[in-house]
Amino acid sequence: MSGRLFVVGLGPGSPDQVTPQASAAVAEAKFFYGYKPYLDRLELRLDQTAISSDNREEISRARAALARAAEGETVAVVSGGDPGVFAMAAAVCEAIEAGPAAWRNIDIEIVPGVTAMLAVAARIGAPLGHDFCAISLSDNLKPWDVVERRLVAAAEAGFVIALYNPISKARPWQLGKAFEQLRTVLPAETIVVFGRAAGRTDERIEVFSLGEVDTGKADMATCVIIGSPETRAIPRADRPALIYTPRSLASQ
Amino acid sequence: MSGRLFVVGLGPGSPDQVTPQASAAVAEAKFFYGYKPYLDRLELRLDQTAISSDNREEISRARAALARAAEGETVAVVSGGDPGVFAMAAAVCEAIEAGPAAWRNIDIEIVPGVTAMLAVAARIGAPLGHDFCAISLSDNLKPWDVVERRLVAAAEAGFVIALYNPISKARPWQLGKAFEQLRTVLPAETIVVFGRAAGRTDERIEVFSLGEVDTGKADMATCVIIGSPETRAIPRADRPALIYTPRSLASQ
């Protein structure tokens, strides 16, 4: 008896950014596994059960969800944003690869969502309008020197950079260090955006220059976008400036 | 009199991946500007008007939409996927910056969507589960040597690479040349995914190795994902292999 496992992206937070496909998966599942703030977004029925776990327990959460699905149940693992971007889809794959053979027979459906960088970008213009990259700043799962090397390589190559997991209580200095490295490559006036809770009532979007960015204004729910030297601001009289990266790049 | 302009992402193609926010914007707008295949996805009312243009006419399309909004109308510019990723949001910003001052007073709302790489990734596992980048392979708007430099820099730094606009009648050789460059950095067994129409009835997802990839199977609607050396396949008996990139990277 093999059950079904949805790995669902709930989008950045606003209910009107949850896809119908995600809503349908949530309606269908009986058991829900996730980090509590994401589970709290669901309005579950009495016949549905939520099992929350901490945000650094992805593998044990994935294993618990797979074990439940292997019993023949319909299960959902939920992520904010998109489950494939620094979220639960990779953890579920890791657990399947290392787990019992029967888990490979579970019907897995990954439901994509609007990931944070897209939601933040949409609120201020089009900073990701040219080539870009996404880097998790967490050094829990990779060595810090790899993070630094990637930041410098991306900046030197002209990518706009979106940073996920920029800061936490356990990782307080990494974001400052990242900006320090980037300042060795990028001009001080490079545009930096901190976006938090994009599209929600508690949204906070702030724009800095790389030379004057205040890391104290970021928290673990912030997505940081660092422009390329091409990224520009369009001032507007009664509205926030539009921030965008032109599609074109002239010969250099 | 200043109108309103939505820049709407319609997602990868399936109606159940269109967000409620996008559907609401479509319901509200009177005039729709876009590339015809995207406009064809809309079910417009008799009081709504679609104005289609070719897929290389982004700036003139943006200008026409802004001019209409400046007349006080509610207008939508539509993109497939997310409008901020190699799509109309940057073109609209460019047109605003170069256009009449009154255009800065238009109420612009950018509606994010599920971009192609997320939809393709979701259909096969979690290839974007670690640091990744997105590169448009089109050299219409940037010099080809910049594209090559970015490909090599991203591969050397360990990013998974998503390629948008990989090939077209006017750009027949670039994808092959990109793979040629990547083979100088990445092992021949690196996993390459071609994803087309993810989530639609005409979906086509194919997995190759970098050493044996067949560029003839890509077209302009294909999103190409090139794994890092860490990207792995989990074979399954009665289902396609799951392709994923582990969250962790050991010290190197």
Instruction: Judge whether A30 and A49 are in contact, CB under 8 Å.
Output: yes
pLDDT of residue A1: 59
**Same domain? A167 vs A69:** no
Nearest residue to B88 (alpha-carbon basis) of B121, B107, B115, B70: B115
Question: What pTM did the predictor assign?
Answer: 0.97
Mean pLDDT score, A125-147: 96
Q: Does B161 touch chain A (CB under 8 A)?
A: no
Residue B251 counted as domain residue: no
Are residue B52 and residue B126 in the same domain, yes or no?
Answer: no
The CATH number of residue B198's host domain is 3.30.950.10
Instruction: Say whether A122 and B111 touch across the interface (CB within 8 A).
Output: yes
For the residues B175-203, what does the mean pLDDT come to? 95
How close does chain B come to A153, measured CA to CA in Å?
Answer: 6
* Residue ranges of B 118-147 with Cβ closer than 8 A to chain A: 118-119, 121-123, 125-136, 141-143, 146
Of B87, B114, B141, which one is at a domain's C-terminal end?
B114
Count: domains in chain B: 2
Q: Do A20 and B17 touch (CB under 8 A)?
A: yes
| Greater model confidence, A68 or A202 | A68
ipTM here = 0.97
Tell me: do B87 and B147 sit in the same domain: no
Domain boundary among A63, A80, A114: A114
Residue A250 included in any domain:
no
Per-residue pLDDT averaged across A175-189, rounded? 98
**Residue A250, pLDDT above cutoff 80:** no
Binned at pLDDT 50, 70 and 90, residue B101 comes out as very high
| B154 and B41 inside one domain | no
Lowest mean pLDDT among A34-38, A64-68, B2-6, B90-94: B2-6
Please tell me which residue of chain B has the smallest CA distance to A198: B112
Which residue does chain A place closest to B121, by CA atoms?
A84
Using the Cβ of A66 and the Cβ atoms of chain B, whether some distance falls under 8 Å is answered with: no
Q: Provide the domain limits for residue A55.
A: 4-114
Query: What is the average pLDDT score of chain B?
Result: 96
Domain boundary among B86, B114, B142: B114
Per-residue pLDDT at B1 exceeds 70 = no
Mean pLDDT of A164-170: 94
Question: H/E element holding A23?
Answer: helix A20-28
For A66, B137, B147, B224, B235, the CA distances from B239, given in Å and listed in that order, are 17, 31, 36, 21, 8
- pLDDT at position A252 is 55
B53, B38, B36, B52: which is closest to B8 by C-alpha?
B38
Of residues B129, B141, B252, nearest to A89 (C-beta): B129
Q: Do the domain assignments include residue B102? A: yes
- Residue A6: pLDDT band (50, 70, 90) is very high
Q: What is the pLDDT of residue A104?
A: 96
Length of chain A, in residues: 252
**Does A15 contact B at CB distance below 8 Å?**
yes
Percent of chain B with pLDDT over 90: 92
* Pick among A118, A238, A249 to test the B interface (most B CBs inside 10 A): A118
Indicate the Cα dihedral angle B196, B197, B200, B204, nearest 10°.
Answer: -20
B30-78 residue pLDDT tens: 999 999 999 999 999 999 999 999 877 999 999 999 999 999 999 999 9
Residue A28 lies in a domain: yes
Q: Is residue B21 part of a domain?
A: yes
Residue B250 is assigned to a structural domain of this protein: no
Per-chain mean pLDDT for chain A: 96
Say how many residues make up chain B.
Answer: 252
* pLDDT tier at A199, thresholds 50, 70, 90: confident
Q: Does B102 touch chain A (CB under 8 A)?
A: no
d(CA A12, CA A81): 5
Q: Closest Cα of chain B to A217: distance in Å?
A: 24
Asked if residue B249 is part of any domain, the answer here is no
Classify residue A10 as exposed, middle or buried by CB count within 10 Å of its CB (0-12, 13-18, 19+): buried
User: 3-state DSSP helix/strand/coil percent for chain A, to nearest 5?
Assistant: 35, 25, 40
Closest residue in chain B to residue A231, using alpha carbons only? B90
Domain containing residue A89: CATH number: 3.40.1010.10
pLDDT of residue A251: 64
Assess whether B62 and B16 both reside in one domain: yes
| pLDDT attached to residue B54 | 84
Per-residue pLDDT averaged across B149-154, rounded?
98
